[in-house]
Amino acid sequence: MLDILRYTPIWVWGLLAALLTLGLWQTRTRNVARARLLILPLVLLGLGLWSTSSSFAALPLAAGAWLAALAASFFAARRLPTPAGARWDAARQRLHLPGSWLPLVLIVAIFTLRYSATVALILHPAWRGDPLLLLPLAALYGALGGLFLGRAVALLALTRAPQATIAADERAQLS
Protein backbone atom coordinates (compact mmCIF):
# COMPACT_ATOMS: atom_id res chain seq x y z
CA MET A 1 0.00 0.00 0.00
CA LEU A 2 2.82 2.42 0.80
CA ASP A 3 4.31 1.80 -2.64
CA ILE A 4 1.01 2.77 -4.26
CA LEU A 5 0.92 6.04 -2.32
CA ARG A 6 4.63 6.70 -2.92
CA TYR A 7 4.34 6.24 -6.69
CA THR A 8 1.20 8.31 -7.04
CA PRO A 9 2.08 11.36 -9.16
CA ILE A 10 2.40 14.64 -7.26
CA TRP A 11 -0.28 16.30 -9.41
CA VAL A 12 -2.86 13.84 -8.01
CA TRP A 13 -2.25 15.19 -4.51
CA GLY A 14 -2.48 18.74 -5.87
CA LEU A 15 -5.83 17.88 -7.44
CA LEU A 16 -7.00 16.39 -4.14
CA ALA A 17 -5.95 19.55 -2.30
CA ALA A 18 -7.84 21.73 -4.80
CA LEU A 19 -10.96 19.56 -4.59
CA LEU A 20 -10.84 19.55 -0.78
CA THR A 21 -10.52 23.34 -0.83
CA LEU A 22 -13.58 23.59 -3.07
CA GLY A 23 -15.46 21.18 -0.79
CA LEU A 24 -14.50 22.99 2.39
CA TRP A 25 -15.58 26.28 0.80
CA GLN A 26 -19.04 24.71 0.43
CA THR A 27 -19.29 24.19 4.21
CA ARG A 28 -19.45 27.94 4.84
CA THR A 29 -22.46 30.18 4.44
CA ARG A 30 -21.67 32.36 1.45
CA ASN A 31 -23.04 34.66 -1.22
CA VAL A 32 -22.22 33.61 -4.77
CA ALA A 33 -22.79 34.91 -8.26
CA ARG A 34 -24.79 32.78 -10.70
CA ALA A 35 -21.79 31.70 -12.76
CA ARG A 36 -19.85 30.61 -9.69
CA LEU A 37 -22.54 28.06 -8.84
CA LEU A 38 -21.50 26.04 -11.87
CA ILE A 39 -17.74 25.85 -11.21
CA LEU A 40 -17.71 22.88 -8.83
CA PRO A 41 -20.35 20.84 -10.68
CA LEU A 42 -18.56 21.34 -14.00
CA VAL A 43 -15.17 20.44 -12.50
CA LEU A 44 -16.60 17.26 -10.98
CA LEU A 45 -18.54 16.44 -14.13
CA GLY A 46 -15.33 16.82 -16.11
CA LEU A 47 -13.43 14.64 -13.65
CA GLY A 48 -16.07 11.94 -13.89
CA LEU A 49 -16.13 12.10 -17.69
CA TRP A 50 -12.33 12.00 -17.82
CA SER A 51 -12.33 9.05 -15.44
CA THR A 52 -14.79 7.13 -17.58
CA SER A 53 -13.84 8.16 -21.10
CA SER A 54 -11.02 5.62 -21.38
CA SER A 55 -13.57 2.84 -20.88
CA PHE A 56 -15.82 4.18 -23.67
CA ALA A 57 -13.51 2.77 -26.34
CA ALA A 58 -13.20 -0.62 -24.63
CA LEU A 59 -16.91 -0.78 -23.88
CA PRO A 60 -19.10 1.76 -25.73
CA LEU A 61 -22.04 0.77 -23.51
CA ALA A 62 -20.17 2.49 -20.65
CA ALA A 63 -20.89 5.85 -22.30
CA GLY A 64 -24.60 5.03 -22.21
CA ALA A 65 -24.40 3.96 -18.57
CA TRP A 66 -22.59 7.20 -17.69
CA LEU A 67 -25.11 9.34 -19.58
CA ALA A 68 -28.17 7.50 -18.22
CA ALA A 69 -26.95 7.78 -14.63
CA LEU A 70 -26.03 11.43 -15.16
CA ALA A 71 -29.51 12.23 -16.47
CA ALA A 72 -31.32 10.26 -13.75
CA SER A 73 -29.41 11.84 -10.88
CA PHE A 74 -29.58 15.30 -12.49
CA PHE A 75 -33.38 15.19 -12.61
CA ALA A 76 -33.60 13.65 -9.14
CA ALA A 77 -31.33 16.35 -7.66
CA ARG A 78 -33.42 19.10 -9.27
CA ARG A 79 -36.44 17.82 -7.34
CA LEU A 80 -34.72 17.83 -3.94
CA PRO A 81 -35.83 20.56 -1.53
CA THR A 82 -33.92 23.80 -1.71
CA PRO A 83 -31.53 24.16 1.22
CA ALA A 84 -33.13 26.05 4.12
CA GLY A 85 -31.96 29.63 4.05
CA ALA A 86 -31.05 29.72 0.37
CA ARG A 87 -32.35 32.92 -1.20
CA TRP A 88 -31.66 35.24 -4.10
CA ASP A 89 -30.57 38.81 -3.38
CA ALA A 90 -31.61 40.61 -6.57
CA ALA A 91 -30.07 43.92 -5.50
CA ARG A 92 -26.59 42.41 -5.09
CA GLN A 93 -27.09 39.75 -7.79
CA ARG A 94 -25.93 37.08 -5.36
CA LEU A 95 -27.39 33.83 -4.12
CA HIS A 96 -27.18 33.39 -0.35
CA LEU A 97 -26.33 29.75 0.41
CA PRO A 98 -26.08 28.05 3.78
CA GLY A 99 -23.05 25.85 4.30
CA SER A 100 -23.29 22.11 3.70
CA TRP A 101 -20.94 19.19 4.27
CA LEU A 102 -22.61 17.11 1.56
CA PRO A 103 -20.55 18.52 -1.34
CA LEU A 104 -17.32 17.72 0.51
CA VAL A 105 -18.50 14.15 1.15
CA LEU A 106 -19.40 13.73 -2.54
CA ILE A 107 -16.07 15.23 -3.65
CA VAL A 108 -14.15 12.80 -1.46
CA ALA A 109 -16.32 9.96 -2.81
CA ILE A 110 -15.54 10.92 -6.42
CA PHE A 111 -11.82 11.26 -5.76
CA THR A 112 -11.67 8.00 -3.81
CA LEU A 113 -13.58 6.19 -6.53
CA ARG A 114 -11.29 7.56 -9.23
CA TYR A 115 -8.11 6.84 -7.28
CA SER A 116 -9.21 3.30 -6.31
CA ALA A 117 -10.35 2.45 -9.82
CA THR A 118 -7.09 3.70 -11.32
CA VAL A 119 -5.01 1.68 -8.87
CA ALA A 120 -7.17 -1.41 -9.45
CA LEU A 121 -6.79 -1.10 -13.23
CA ILE A 122 -3.02 -0.67 -12.92
CA LEU A 123 -2.75 -3.74 -10.71
CA HIS A 124 -5.19 -5.77 -12.84
CA PRO A 125 -4.91 -4.64 -16.49
CA ALA A 126 -7.30 -7.39 -17.64
CA TRP A 127 -10.14 -5.53 -15.87
CA ARG A 128 -9.91 -2.65 -18.39
CA GLY A 129 -12.41 -4.37 -20.66
CA ASP A 130 -14.56 -6.05 -18.01
CA PRO A 131 -18.17 -4.85 -18.22
CA LEU A 132 -18.80 -6.00 -14.63
CA LEU A 133 -16.38 -3.30 -13.50
CA LEU A 134 -16.70 -0.64 -16.21
CA LEU A 135 -20.48 -0.31 -16.33
CA PRO A 136 -21.00 0.27 -12.59
CA LEU A 137 -18.02 2.66 -12.51
CA ALA A 138 -19.37 4.65 -15.43
CA ALA A 139 -22.80 4.78 -13.79
CA LEU A 140 -21.33 5.93 -10.46
CA TYR A 141 -19.29 8.70 -12.12
CA GLY A 142 -22.35 9.82 -14.07
CA ALA A 143 -24.63 9.73 -11.03
CA LEU A 144 -22.26 11.74 -8.84
CA GLY A 145 -21.74 14.34 -11.55
CA GLY A 146 -25.47 14.57 -12.14
CA LEU A 147 -26.15 15.18 -8.45
CA PHE A 148 -23.88 18.21 -8.40
CA LEU A 149 -25.14 19.58 -11.70
CA GLY A 150 -28.80 19.05 -10.77
CA ARG A 151 -28.35 20.82 -7.44
CA ALA A 152 -26.63 23.76 -9.14
CA VAL A 153 -29.40 24.08 -11.73
CA ALA A 154 -32.03 23.93 -8.98
CA LEU A 155 -30.23 26.72 -7.14
CA LEU A 156 -29.98 28.73 -10.34
CA ALA A 157 -33.77 28.50 -10.60
CA LEU A 158 -33.94 30.55 -7.38
CA THR A 159 -32.17 33.38 -9.21
CA ARG A 160 -34.91 33.47 -11.85
CA ALA A 161 -37.92 33.15 -9.56
CA PRO A 162 -38.02 36.82 -8.49
CA GLN A 163 -37.86 37.91 -12.14
CA ALA A 164 -40.73 35.60 -13.03
CA THR A 165 -42.74 36.99 -10.11
CA ILE A 166 -42.04 40.56 -11.20
CA ALA A 167 -43.05 39.76 -14.77
CA ALA A 168 -46.29 38.15 -13.54
CA ASP A 169 -47.03 41.20 -11.35
CA GLU A 170 -46.41 43.54 -14.29
CA ARG A 171 -48.74 41.49 -16.52
CA ALA A 172 -51.43 41.60 -13.83
CA GLN A 173 -51.16 45.40 -13.63
CA LEU A 174 -51.48 45.71 -17.41
CA SER A 175 -54.71 43.65 -17.45
Q: What is the pLDDT of residues 63-91, one digit of tens each?
A: 889 999 999 999 999 998 888 889 998 88
Q: How far is CA 113 from the centre of its chain?
A: 14
SS3 at position 9:
coil
Once rounded to an integer, what is the mean pLDDT over residues 39-56?
Answer: 78
Residue 112: other Cβ atoms inside 10 A: 11
Query: Which pLDDT score, from 0 to 100, does residue 103 have?
Result: 87
Summarize pLDDT for 7-46 with one digit per residue, the tens.
889 999 999 999 899 889 989 999 998 888 888 788 878 8
- Tell me the pTM: 0.78
CB-based burial of residue 13 (10 Å sphere; 0-12 exposed, 13-18 middle, 19+ buried)? exposed
DSSP secondary structure string, 112-168? HHHHHHHHHHHH-GGGGG-HHHHHHHHHHHHHHHHHHHHHHHHHHHHHHHHHHHHHH
Q: pLDDT, tens digit, for every residue of 129-154?
A: 888 888 998 899 899 989 989 999 99
**C-alpha count within 13 angstroms, C-beta hemisphere, residue 85:** 9
Consecutive H or E run containing 16: helix 10-25
Any idea where the domains of the chain sit in the sequence? 23-170
* Confidence at residue 106, expressed as pLDDT on a 0 to 100 scale: 86
